[in-house]
Each structure stands twice: as C-alpha cells, then as structure tokens.
Amino acid sequence: MSVLDDIIDGVREDLSARRREIGDAAVAEAAAVALPARDAFAALGGGVVGADRRLRLITEVKRASPSKGDLAAIDDPASLAAAYEAGGAAAISVLTEQRRFRGSLADLDAVRAAVSIPVLRKDFTVDPYQIHEARAHGADLVLLIVAALDQPTLVDYLALTHELGMNALVESHTAAELERALDAGARIVGVNTRNLKTLDVDPGVFAPLAEMIPGDVVAVAESGVVTADEVAGYAAAGADAVLVGEALVRSSLGAGADPADTVRRFAAAGTAAQAERVPATAPHATASTPTETEQTR
Ligand SMILES: O=C(O)c1ccccc1NCC(=O)[C@H](O)[C@H](O)COP(=O)(O)O
C-alpha cells in the first residue's frame, strides 16, 4: 500500500467519527452560514499581468509529516500564521490531517481568525463532507489531489467547492494528472514535486508541467523548498506561487527566529526572478501572436 493510500484510510476512519458527531445536513448548514470565503484566486495572482505581477507565497502550518516526522511543536498556530502574513504571505495552508501531520480543524479555526488573507484547508479530500466542513470552519480554499480522485469525482468536488464560494488547489504530480486537473476546470493548479506514493522530491518535475498551464490558471510549485534560490528557480520556470512548509516552520524555531523575514526573503527572490523571465508561448495557442490568456508561464 502506498503512503497516500495509507493516509487516506486513516482520513476515512477519522471522518466517519466526525460524521457520527455532526451529520451531513448539519455540516452543510454550518457551511451555508459561515462568513463569506476570501478570494484566493485573486490573492494568488490570478488575472494579474505586467508590473503588478509578483511571486506569491503560500505558507504552511505543519507540525509533522510522513517524510520527516516531527518538524515543530507549533503551540500557537495563530501567531505563526500572523507572522507569515506580516512577512507578506499571500495565503496560509493549514494541515488538518491528524495522524501523520498532527493538524486539526481547531488549527484551521485559529488561523482563519488571526489573518485576513485566504486560508487553505490542506487535507486529503475524499468525501464531499470534508468540503462542507472546510467551509464551515472558514476555509477559503480546499486541496483536491488528482491522484486520490477519479475524474467524475474530481469534477463534482470542484463544482461543490465553487458552489460554496471557495477555490480549490488542484494538485498534480504528472502530466497526465495535470491534464485531468485542467480538463476538470481547475483555476489554481499545484504541481507537487513530492511523489505522494514514494515521498521522493524531484524539483525537476515542475518546469515541464508549468509549460502546459495556461496563463489564466494560477500555477503553484509545491514541496521541498529550503532556500530563496529555490523559490527563484520556480518563479523563473513560471510559478505564480510557491507553497512552503517545512523550511518556514523550522525558521520559526529557536532564539531570534523570524519566520516573517524568511517569508519576505523568499517572496522577494521569487518576484525578482519572475520579473526577469520572458513568458513562453502556449502550446495551445492558435494565433501567431498569443493573447495574454493564451500565454502560459
Ligand atoms: O510532507 C509530506 O511528507 C507529505 C507526505 C505525503 C503526503 C503529503 C505530504 N505533504 C503535504 C504537502 O503537500 C506539503 O506539506 C507541502 O507541499 C509543503 O511541503 P514542504 O515545503 O516540503 O514541507
């Protein structure tokens, strides 16, 4: 059994327990009366061209992971998220999976109340219940992992996410998965450089996939980023946004720790690299001079 399958088995068990406490109708009702979702597409640079373009960082609250074990205790996720926002983060990712990442819906509540930027519920979505639940807890974005969903389910979950006023980060790792994400109508696509079956990280996965992403879709590079130069590398390859977890939570540890400064440095390096790159022509472009939306990275 792959790591992803194993995580999903645990997610389904935990979900059944929550569903016994709060039924489907109640969670849908709670989602319907939640405060409106923040516009994550715009926050991540969707539709932004020219001089206003800058590299957006999605900064993660992550205590532990299957690949690295314990990372940081994070007793106060709200303060960490506030520091990320002060450093210029565009959105915050909150892991809510409990068994392998030691996250919770309480973390999501605390972070959403502490910041004014969009918040991603980062979990392994395998049931519409979780999408309602995410909205009920204030999420503005949910994660849909293509490898975990068949195509009709991916299309349904994306539609439900949009119906509830949220966006989805639709995550792929291969060209075939990215094609499925785009066919489903994703407006924000993630290329996870971590293979969720083996946990190997290969930064080289991003650039060729980025070339397939139309200019009007937000492209997010995910995982394994440790330095500002790596953020710059993804920006140079066409990323609109980069999602960083471990490096940021580690930068919050110890005396003199300053995660806001790390966010600032990473984002500045990405924006400088973005400004230098010449966009490629979309493979799908039909006209000899592509329009802005026909241009890709
Ligand atoms: O982080 C893991 O080990 C992991 C294993 C299996 C499934 C998902 C996993 N991580 C979720 C993520 O997508 C990352 O938290 C996110 O991209 C940030 O990665 P990093 O900067 O490497 O912490």
The CATH number corresponding to 3-276 among 3.20.20.70, 3.40.50.720, 3.10.129.10, 1.20.120.530 equals: 3.20.20.70
- The C-alpha atoms of residue 191 and residue 203 are separated, in whole angstroms, by 10
- The C-alpha atoms of residue 260 and residue 167 are separated, in whole angstroms, by 25
User: Ligand 1, from 65, 107, 195: best to mutate by most atoms within 8 Å of Cβ?
Assistant: 65
Largest Cα span, the chain: 58
Q: 184 or 295: whose pLDDT is higher?
A: 184
- The C-alpha atoms of residue 67 and residue 109 are separated, in whole angstroms, by 26
Nearest-CA residue for atom 14 of ligand 1: 223
Over range 87-115, report the average pLDDT. 98
Annotated catalytic, 60?
yes
pLDDT band for position 279 (50/70/90)?
low
User: Ligand 1, from 223, 242, 251: best to mutate by most atoms within 8 Å of Cβ?
Assistant: 223
- Write down the pLDDT at residue 297: 62
For ligand 1, whether the C-beta of 199 sits within 6 Å is yes
- Write down the pLDDT at residue 253: 87
Atom of ligand 1 nearest to the CA of 248: 21
- Write down the pLDDT at residue 277: 84
Give the start-to-end residue ranges of the domains of the chain.
3-276
For ligand 1, whether the C-beta of 244 sits within 6 Å is yes
In tens, the pLDDT along 227-254 reads 999 999 999 999 999 999 999 999 988 8
Question: Full-prediction pTM beyond 0.90?
Answer: yes
- Write down the pLDDT at residue 262: 96
Over range 256-275, report the average pLDDT. 95
Annotated catalytic, 171?
yes
**215 contacts 296 by C-beta, under 8 angstroms:** yes
Q: 277 or 30: whose pLDDT is higher?
A: 30
Annotated catalytic, 93?
no
- Write down the pLDDT at residue 60: 98
| b/e per residue 3-42 (b: at least 16 CB within 10 A) | ebeebbeebeeebeeeeeeeeeeebbeebeebeebbebbe
Mean pLDDT computed over every residue of the chain: 93
For ligand 1, whether the C-beta of 242 sits within 6 Å is no
Annotated catalytic, 65?
no
Instruction: Report helix, strand or coil for 157.
Output: helix
